[in-house]
Structure 1
Amino acid sequence: MCPFHPTASGTEATAAASPTPQDTARIVVEEKAQLDFSQSMSYGDYLQLDQILSAQHPRSPDHNEMLFIVQHQTSELWMKLMLHELGAAIEHVALDQLPTAFKMLARVSKIMEQLVHAWDVLATMTPPEYSAIRPYLVSSSGFQSYQYRCIEFALGNKNAAMLKPHAHRPDLLAQVQARYQAPSLYDQSLRLLARRGLVVPSSHTERDWTQPYTASAEVEQAWLQVYRDPQAHWDLYQLGEELTDLEDAFRLWRFRHVTTVERVIGFKRGTGGTGGVSYLRKMLDVVLFPEIWSLRTQL
């Protein structure tokens, strides 16, 4: 049945739902719709679609390479937005502007959910289909994504060795290095707790930001104070839950990455020289905000 014409037959419903040229002309007149964009900016102009949609250049003769390219290009676009939101959220936490930061962090979590579902599309590529394009990738690899590395550094997973893949591009290296040397989201969150009068050791509020984060019993006690009395520390409690949502989404993104790679290439080494699935599985053990998770056992 047609939802707009419950009693119409299939043929009648189709006819009723399809606008005629006369209908279109009437809509243009009544709605003052603009169809000629020769003198003004169009949808394609605003989004620069000519540049975006002409950026796919398969190197192999295989049909499925287009999927591989679009998958990774769209992921990089989402990561660009994620960095835009994440960087601003870190600044707002540093300025004690938590409501604005919460909106941005919630958006980052939703972007990660979007990226989780993107793996479902790539998973339609079978092992023989990937094998047909793999030789054409040479040594290019997602491992070399500077945006992903900036995201990891902004979330606190610091590793100096991860600067090296970008050394051949000084402009990109400068961006990655800036994230590497700056306080992470969690670093700024702990500094905020200290400013609010909670006991956070100076070893965790004034430290070498390039070093990996080390969990602290004192930090866990500070978060426990927040979680045991949410009403007295409502915005800090909400910050803790935003961090939980964020890491939860990040874990799912990583996990879906591992399962998709294993499904498509098994345990072959990655094109970038990593162990492939074995390397990705090690990354699943990384905990970004450890005290946020461990405190739950103590509540």
Structure 2
Amino acid sequence: MSHDKHVSYTSYLKVDELLQLQHPLSDGPEHDELLFITIHQVYELWFKQLLHEASALQLSLEKGETHRSMAILGRMRTIMKTCVSQLDILETMTPLQFNSFRDRLTSASGFQSAQFRELEAVLGRRDQAGADADKKSGMGMADHLVPGSPARQRVEAAMSRASLWDSALRYFNTRMPMPETALNRDVTRAWEPNEQVQQALIELHRNDPEASMIGEALVDLDEGLQEWRYRHVKMVERTIGRKMGTGGSSGAGYLASTLFHPVFPDLWAIRSQF
């Protein structure tokens, strides 16, 4: 196979194309709109990387590979910390500065981030009985995406296959038998905390240092996601208060409803039993 001998930093990273992707819509344009666009585009790049890592992590966990799984979990946690720290930059924009171009966003909303919805599904979020729907609009995870679109299909596909927690259960099963009902469950449904699984996890924490490390690294990731949600809520409250969000969402009200819902509840439940 021949290789292009003229690859440069600019051509390899598609820098020229990348820098053409920021198109402010406001008149002038308003100074702060470029920051808003840049940060959200960077978020989408990080979401793409998190999905890439999560896919590799699931395979690694299911093969029982402790050290590779730990390395990937560490990387994902570090990316989550970067996502949180980017909010510090966004918070340098005042409510007045955001309002100078907010009306240009019309129906655009963070709810339409297919990649974040897909990441939530990979982590185990499902839409049963509307439990995870936007409480105000009654809309589920994929309902903000165009029906039949590739983006919506990706989210729906992620909701129909084994989640990261299902892969973690298979990892733990390589160390100690886990309940058959947990291993053979309907993966299209949201996971319900399971006392038998929790008892097995307690035994693993006490007797299997490697399994315990994986459990704690999963808690790290879960905490990182909750931290991002909290900081996101406070950033929205700080910028638009309790106004409706763009795209007809309930803004900070909806975001606040997503707080304190861990994606790996069993790993949190066992804390009080040690």
TM-score (norm 1): 0.83
Alignment of 1:165-176 (within 5 A): 165-168=144-147, 170-176=149-155
Partner in structure 2 of residue 136 of structure 1: 104
Partner in structure 2 of residue 52 of structure 1: 18
Q: Secondary structure at the match of 1:212?
A: coil
- Output the CA distance in 1 between the equivalents of 2:263 and 2:185: 17
Which has the bigger relative contact order, CA under 8 A and spacing at least 6?
2
- Output the CA distance in 1 between the equivalents of 2:243 and 2:210: 46
Structure 1: state its 5+ residue gaps.
Answer: 1-38
8 Å Cα contact 2:176/2:204 also seen in 1: no
Cα displacement string for residues 56-80 of structure 1 (whole angstroms, at most 9, x for unaligned residues): 0000121111011001001111111
Equivalent residue for 1:263, pick from 238, 256, 261? 238
Equivalent residue for 1:221, pick from 185, 199, 209? 199
Provide the identity percentage: 37
Equivalent residue for 1:206, pick from 184, 189, 210? 184
- Output the CA distance in 2 between the equivalents of 1:159 and 1:113: 27
- Output the CA distance in 2 between the equivalents of 1:192 and 1:272: 40
1:169 Cα deviation (Å)? 5.3
8 Å Cα contact 2:226/2:260 also seen in 1: no
- Output the CA distance in 1 between the equivalents of 2:24 and 2:147: 24
TM-score (norm 2): 0.90
Alignment of 1:171-190 (within 5 A): 171-190=150-169
Alignment of 1:1-299 (within 5 A): 40-61=6-27, 62-159=30-127, 161-168=140-147, 170-198=149-177, 200-229=178-207, 233-299=208-274
1:269 Cα deviation (Å)? 1.0
1:242 Cα deviation (Å)? 0.9
Q: Secondary structure at the match of 2:247?
A: coil
1:167 Cα deviation (Å)? 3.1
- Output the CA distance in 2 between the equivalents of 1:43 and 1:191: 41
- Output the CA distance in 1 between the equivalents of 2:169 and 2:259: 24
Cα displacement string for residues 108-160 of structure 1 (whole angstroms, at most 9, x for unaligned residues): 10000000000011111111111111110011111110110111111112226
1:291 Cα deviation (Å)? 1.4
Cα displacement string for residues 13-46 of structure 1 (whole angstroms, at most 9, x for unaligned residues): xxxxxxxxxxxxxxxxxxxxxxxxxx72211111
The one-letter code of the counterpart of 2:34 is M
CA radius of gyration, larger in = 1
- Output the CA distance in 1 between the equivalents of 2:71 and 2:175: 21
- Output the CA distance in 2 between the equivalents of 1:235 and 1:190: 14
Structure 2: state its 5+ residue gaps.
Answer: 129-139
The one-letter code of the counterpart of 1:93 is L
How many residue pairs were aligned?
257
1:287 Cα deviation (Å)? 1.4
Alignment RMSD (CA, Å)? 1.4
Runs of 4+ in 1 over 4 A off after TM superposition: none
1:186 Cα deviation (Å)? 0.9
Q: Secondary structure at the match of 1:140?
A: coil
Q: Secondary structure at the match of 1:166?
A: coil
Instruction: Compare 130-139 and 151-160 and name the one that shifted more.
Output: 151-160
